[in-house]
Structures are given as structure tokens and as C-alpha cells.
């Protein structure tokens, strides 16, 4: 009787990258290209003022702003000519992601860090489509990674490579170290989209001196989260003393979030308070609003 043997050879253990929500990024990218972002909840924002950069001179058509008439070109051509402006390009947009313990909180199967990473991919892609430069910073008790802002063809691949294996830790995030690193490494005024979370006004006030310092040099937008798990406690009618206590605590936490927005605004620091599910849309809306106002 003959025996047959077969030998199998398997690769040893290897690291297999699991990338963030690439499909979500592509969905928004395709909508931006086809001017269909409104379908995803992105607002159509009217341009304000003339803080955009000059693009070219063109013939006047009905509806053009008379303030853009180029009188020298008009005299030369013997017909009305106007200056055409486009959004300012090559602005730096940094997604700064807190990977400390405050970002571990889960919502619908994803942590706050997961939502922040997915949003960073989307806004980086949109910014580069708008001819801006996208960069990434991650931090907790120290600055983990800094990817300088760029718009080269490989930048999205670089961003994916940086973000795919990011995970939260149990450490307290150090905003002083973060601010010092950004001010040292990011020398040109940039849009800083800072993804973090504050549950109380006291938590914000401990970090406020560093956020104010950051906002003096850069346009800093503080992005933090509505705790949607509190809605069920707030909306439910309390039937006993214990439920009254839980409902009161939930309402206090929800109120503190609104106080945080007001406290940041008191120092002229803009913020986005959002549910995790609406994070990407609200971040895109803020970016487009800032561009329309010529702030970046």
C-alpha cells in the first residue's frame, strides 16, 4: 500500500493592517466632486466678502458683483471685465486626535477615537479636493505622531498608514505638551481641528490656558461629543427617588456640555459639540463655513 504525504507551508505571524472607514471617506469624496454634499447633510454656504484669492479676469455677465469690476482691463478691452476670485488654496488643515482615555467611550459599537479617525479621513480628503493641505497629529500624555500637512498624491495613503493602528490608552492627555509641539512644528497659521472630549466645565478649565495659547497662533476648533446615552435617562419619566437622582445627574452633564461651548466662545475659541454619528458632517460644515468667511 502506497502512502501519500502532502506538505503545507504557512507564513509566520505577520501584521495585517485594518484600515479605517475607507468607504465613508470615498462617499463624501464622490459627493464633493459631483457637488452633492447636501445629500449627506452638508450645508450649502454662501461666500462672504472677498477674502478669496484672485484667479483670473473674465467678461462681465449679469449677476456679477460690480465691486469686482477691473477698470483697467475694461478700458483696455472696451467692455466690462471683472476679477474672478476662487477659494484660497494651499491652506494647512490639521486633524489633531486625542488618543487618551477620554476617547475610549463606546457609542453604537465604535469608540470616540474610531469616530474621530473616520472624520479625520473625510475632512482630509475634502480639504485636499479643495486644494488645501492635510496633516495629522495624535497625542495623549505625549505627542505620538505628526504628519506634516501636504497635498501630494500619496498624502491620503500616508494618513491611512498613520491612523490604521491607532488605539486609545488609559493615560491622561497632556495639552501643554501638545500645544508646545504644534507651535514648534507647525509654523504657518493653520486650521487645527482638535478631536477630544470634555465631560465637565472643570475638565475644560484645566486645559483652557493651553487651548487659548494655541488659538493665539492658529485657528483652533475644539470638537467634543454629546453623550447620546444620556437621552434615554433625560427623556424617561422618573418613577422613584433613584430615577429622579439619575435623571438630575444626566441633565447636569448635558447642561455642562453647553457651558463648555459658552466658555470657549468667551475666549473667541470656536467649537463643535456633536453627536458621534454626525461628527463628519458637522466637521465638513464648519470647514466650508470657515473657507467661505475667508478665515483660512
Q: 95 pLDDT exceeds 80?
A: yes
The per-residue pLDDT for 50 is: 47
Provide the 10 A C-beta neighbour count for residue 35: 8
133 CB-near residues (< 8 Å, 6+ apart): 90, 91, 92, 93, 127, 149, 150, 151, 155
Residue 200 corresponds to which cell in the numbers above?
465637565
Q: 203 pLDDT exceeds 70?
A: yes
SS3 state at 32: helix
The per-residue pLDDT for 29 is: 53
Pair 215, 269: CB distance under 8 Å? yes
Backbone angles phi, psi at 152, to 5 degrees: -65, 165
Distance of alpha carbon 35 from alpha carbon 43, whole angstroms = 11
The full set of domain ranges for the chain reads 53-86, 92-292
What are the beta bridge partners of residue 273? 224
Provide the whole-model pTM: 0.77
Pair 286, 221: CB distance under 8 Å? yes
User: Under CATH, to which class is 92-292 assigned?
Assistant: alpha beta
- 147-200 pLDDT, tens digit each: 999 999 899 999 999 998 899 988 999 999 999 999 999 999 999 999 999 999
- Residue by residue, what is the 3-state secondary structure of 152-190? CCCHHHHHHHHHCCCCCCCCCCCHHHHHHHHHHHCCCCC
SS3 state at 23: helix
Provide the 10 A C-beta neighbour count for residue 53: 12
Backbone angles phi, psi at 213, to 5 degrees: -65, -40
The per-residue pLDDT for 241 is: 73
Q: 202 pLDDT exceeds 90?
A: yes
- 6-16 pLDDT, tens digit each: 676 656 565 55
Amino acid at each position: 500500500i502506497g502512502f501519500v504525504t502532502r506538505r503545507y507551508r504557512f507564513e509566520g505571524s505577520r501584521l495585517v493592517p485594518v484600515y479605517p472607514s475607507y468607504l465613508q471617506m470615498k462617499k463624501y469624496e464622490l459627493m464633493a466632486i459631483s457637488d452633492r454634499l447636501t445629500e449627506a447633510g452638508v450645508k450649502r454656504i454662501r461666500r462672504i466678502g472677498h477674502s478669496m484669492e484672485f484667479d483670473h479676469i473674465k467678461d462681465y455677465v449679469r449677476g456679477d458683483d460690480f465691486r469686482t469690476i477691473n477698470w483697467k482691463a475694461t478700458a483696455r478691452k472696451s467692455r466690462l471685465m471683472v476679477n474672478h476670485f476662487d477659494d484660497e488654496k494651499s491652506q494647512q488643515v490639521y486633524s489633531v486626535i486625542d488618543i487618551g482615555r477620554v476617547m475610549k467611550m463606546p457609542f453604537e459599537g465604535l469608540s470616540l477615537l474610531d469616530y474621530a479617525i473616520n472624520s479625520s479621513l473625510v475632512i482630509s480628503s475634502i480639504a485636499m479636493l479643495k486644494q488645501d493641505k492635510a496633516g495629522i497629529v495624535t497625542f495623549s500624555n505625549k505627542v505620538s505622531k505628526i504628519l506634516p500637512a501636504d497635498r501630494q498624491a500619496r498624502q491620503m495613503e500616508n494618513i491611512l498608514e498613520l491612523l490604521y493602528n491607532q488605539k486609545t490608552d488609559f493615560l491622561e492627555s497632556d495639552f501643554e505638551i501638545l500645544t508646545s509641539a504644534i507651535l514648534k512644528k507647525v509654523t504657518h497659521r493653520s486650521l487645527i481641528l482638535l478631536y477630544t472630549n470634555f465631560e465637565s466645565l472643570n475638565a475644560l478649565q484645566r486645559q483652557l490656558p493651553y487651548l487659548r495659547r494655541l488659538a493665539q497662533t492658529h485657528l483652533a476648533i475644539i470638537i467634543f461629543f454629546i453623550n447620546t446615552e444620556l437621552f434615554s435617562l433625560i427623556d424617561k419619566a422618573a418613577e422613584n427617588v433613584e430615577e429622579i437622582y439619575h435623571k438630575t445627574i444626566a441633565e447636569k452633564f448635558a447642561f455642562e456640555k453647553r457651558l463648555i461651548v459658552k466658555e470657549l466662545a468667551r475666549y473667541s475659541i470656536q467649537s463643535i459639540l456633536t453627536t458621534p454619528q454626525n461628527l463628519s458632517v458637522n466637521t465638513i460644515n464648519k470647514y466650508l463655513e470657515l473657507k467661505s468667511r475667508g478665515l483660512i
